[in-house]
Every structure is written in C-alpha cells, then in structure tokens.
Amino acid sequence: MDKTKLKSCPFCGGKAIISDGVTPRINGTAYMVICTVCHTMSNLYGTKRAAIKHWDRRVE
Ligand SMILES: [Zn+2]
C-alpha cells in the first residue's frame, strides 16, 4: 500500500480520493483526484504521484 497524502478539497473541505481508469486521452491508465463531497475533479495524470502533486499544489 502506498501512502497517499491528499489534501482536503479546496472548495468544500471534503475528503478527496484518487480515482483511476482507462481513458482514450492518455494511452493507458490515468489518475485523477475527486472530492467525495462536491465531486470536484482534477485533471487526468499518467501517475498517481502526479495527480496528487497537482491536487496538493492547487490547494495551497
Ligand atoms: Zn469538495
């Protein structure tokens, strides 16, 4: 298990989770962060690490 340090949603303060799925936009699995409360989504990234990094940056 990798530790995911996700910050809370910048809009509602809700819990954010990593979601992954296959998308035609990226050739393979893509990851994004989604708020479980207001369903705000980040962009799609090729790695979990990138998705988390960008989400955290957005919050700060
Ligand atoms: Zn939210």
For residues 29 and 3, what is the distance between their CA atoms, to the nearest angstrom? 19
pLDDT tens per residue, range 1-33: 455 678 999 999 999 999 987 766 657 889 999
Q: How far is the CA of 47 from the centre of ligand 1 (A)?
A: 22
The Cα 20–Cα 38 span in angstroms is 18
What local confidence, expressed as pLDDT, does residue 23 receive?
67
What pLDDT does 12 receive? 96
Distance (angstroms) between ligand 1 centre and the Cα of 53 equals: 17
CA distance 35 to 9: 6
Q: What is the pTM of this model?
A: 0.77
pLDDT score recorded for residue 1? 46
Domain ranges of the chain: 1-60
* Domain 1-60: CATH architecture, name and number where available: Single Sheet (2.20)
